[in-house]
Chains A and B, each alone.
Chain A
Amino acid sequence: MTAHDSSTVGSALVKRGLADMLRGGVIMDVVNPEQARVAEDAGAVAVMALERVPADIRRDGGVARMSDPQMIQEIQAAVTIPVMAKARIGHFAEAQILQALGVDYVDESEVLTPADEENHIDKWAFTVPFVCGATNLGEALRRIGEGACMIRSKGEAGTGNVVEAVRHLRTINAQMRRLASADEAELYALAKDLQAPLPLVREVAETGHLPVPLFCAGGLATPADASLVMQLGAEAVFVGSGIFKSEDPRRMAEAIVEATTHYRDADALAKVSTGLGAAMRGAEVASLEQRLAERGW
């Protein structure tokens, strides 16, 4: 698409480029303008505008859909940082609406109820960039093949339990290391095993990393959780229920921002972790009725 004579909008470079700008930062789920301002004050690099945080979606049940455009617009008006919003898996019409609203990133998210059980959104067809969740490398590369410009671990949203996010990050990283040590002849079978496009498999084998930034989401609740996943190779973190379900959201938000920047500095981590009040209560993954990470394929 041509914006003006010599300019192009919506290229892979500008779409992936915004993800690059968010690296080292914290993206926070917010449900109203007040929370959005708390997030921005605390140093969030972006907010995810949604009607209910995952913990409440889990509690309430029912079909979870794209948020009300009015609520998204109120949040856009409240902050200067990028605003993201979620569309259901495969629901390209919700994504079209979010693009028309001018949201800065669309999360095609397993936290909402899927709209298509076979196909994800063709994300190349959009000017707005997309982030998608993944539990392993094959899933990540399939999403990138569909045009995702940022990958996040799925984790298990709304649990305050980081165990699934750690599993997904470690799996993706281990599978990338395997590709990096493979010889050319092995890549065909590895692509088949991963069920991923061969050109992307080859690219990961050559570079050792995904062609788009890899962020972490799903169950993060403390500064230590942020440090853990950053040390495991995440380039930024999403915190959903973990902030506004904690006892003192403002302090928790500030502390997680600090921890994400100084994630290797244990003295700094000790300082920001002190006196934060209670983190969100959280849940054992084994006790869940619905595993959100199993949505999408």
Chain B
Amino acid sequence: MVAVGVLALQGDVREHAAALGDLGHEARWVRRPSDLLGLRGLIIPGGESTTMARLLVTSGLREPLGDAIATDLSVFGTCAGLIMLARHVLDGRSDQWSFGALDVTVRRNGYGRQVASFETTVRVAGIGDVPGVFIRAPRIVATGEGVDVLASHDHGDGPAPVLVRQGRHWGCSFHPELTDSRAIHAAFVASL
């Protein structure tokens, strides 16, 4: 069985670990560089991207994780995790950095503040309908050529991608881990 982990610096780590557990994988909680050894897949959870970015640096993970992502580690980012993977980030801090693994541009809080956070149904290519929970969600406003859009959502102002894949890396604006659906986690794990 392949080793899968969840970046466990901050955020809804437990829900992702539970989702992986439901799929028969004991998730490794990744807090230090040594936790990356032998890992095939890593989920970057929801949380605050500015907090995660800082803790990645202070924990010594930024470089080794960046190297792993660039070589053979597969990553799946949800919400803040998507921001950490996006090549371009709008409305972030001036010093906001990311791993740039997905050739997408995201706008932080692109669907509005918490009072605008919403639930909807998202149709995913090859999977079907899944619940979509969007919490201060980043909005994908542009995708590069190598990016497959697996799901889009029209929030009344035109469709925007909400689940994307580029090679072995995945990202989504919403939180499949907060629902009972395991379909997207299963697809990520199956791709490893």
Which chain B residues border A13 with CB–CB below 8 Å? Answer: 119, 133, 178-179
Query: Quick check: is B169 within 8 A (CB to CB) of the other chain?
Result: no
Which chain A residues border B164 with CB–CB below 8 Å? Answer: none
- Please report the C-alpha to C-alpha distance between residue A23 and residue B10 in the assembled complex, in whole angstroms: 6
Query: Quick check: is A197 within 8 A (CB to CB) of the other chain?
Result: no
A257 touches B31 (CB 8 A): no
Return the chain B residue nearest A41 by Cβ.
B54
Which chain B residues border A17 with CB–CB below 8 Å? Answer: 12, 117, 133, 135, 175, 178
B50 touches A81 (CB 8 A): yes
Query: Smallest distance from the beta carbon of A264 to chain B beta carbons, Å?
Result: 10
Which chain B residues border A46 with CB–CB below 8 Å? Answer: 48
B135 touches A21 (CB 8 A): yes
A21 CB contact (under 8 Å) in B9, B48, B54: B48
Contact with A along B35-76 (1 / 0, CB 8 A): 000000000001110110011001100000000000000000
Of B20-28, B108-116, B143-151, B183-191, the one touching chain A? B108-116
Which chain B residues border A282 with CB–CB below 8 Å? Answer: none
A20 touches B46 (CB 8 A): yes
B117 touches A80 (CB 8 A): no
Which chain A residues border B136 with CB–CB below 8 Å? Answer: 18, 21, 82, 104
A4 touches B156 (CB 8 A): yes
A7 touches B119 (CB 8 A): yes
Count of chain A residues with Cβ under 8 Å from any Cβ of B?
A: 43
List B residues 74-89 near A (Cβ within 8 Å): 79-80
A43 touches B178 (CB 8 A): no
Which chain B residues border A128 with CB–CB below 8 Å? Answer: 114-115
Which chain A residues border B55 with CB–CB below 8 Å? Answer: 43, 257-258, 261
B133 touches A14 (CB 8 A): yes
Chain B: number of interface residues, binned into ranges = 35 or more
Which chain A residues border B15 with CB–CB below 8 Å? Answer: 20
B12 touches A44 (CB 8 A): no
- Please report the C-alpha to C-alpha distance between residue A46 and residue B135 in the assembled complex, in whole angstroms: 14
B10 touches A102 (CB 8 A): no
Which chain A residues border B133 with CB–CB below 8 Å? Answer: 13-14, 17
Query: Smallest distance from the beta carbon of A63 to chain B beta carbons, Å?
Result: 28
Which chain B residues border A15 with CB–CB below 8 Å? Answer: 117
- Please report the C-alpha to C-alpha distance between residue A7 and residue B122 in the assembled complex, in whole angstroms: 10
Query: Smallest distance from the beta carbon of A47 to chain B beta carbons, Å?
Result: 11
Which chain A residues border B115 with CB–CB below 8 Å? Answer: 9-10, 99, 102, 104, 127-128
Which chain A residues border B120 with CB–CB below 8 Å? Answer: 4, 6-8
Apart from the given pairs A13-B179, A80-B92, A261-B55, 9 other A-B contacts in the complex at a CB distance below 8 Å = A5-B156, A15-B117, A18-B114, A25-B48, A80-B50, A102-B115, A254-B58, A261-B10, A261-B59
13 sampled A-B residue pairs with Cβ under 8 A? A6-B121, A7-B155, A14-B118, A17-B178, A18-B114, A18-B135, A20-B11, A23-B10, A23-B11, A46-B48, A81-B51, A82-B136, A104-B136
> Which residues of A are interface residues toward B (Cβ below 8 A)?
3-11, 13-15, 17-18, 20-25, 40-46, 80-82, 99, 102-105, 127-129, 254, 257-258, 261-262
Sort A-B residue pairs by CB-CB distance and give the 3 closest, nearest first.
A104-B114, A43-B54, A24-B10
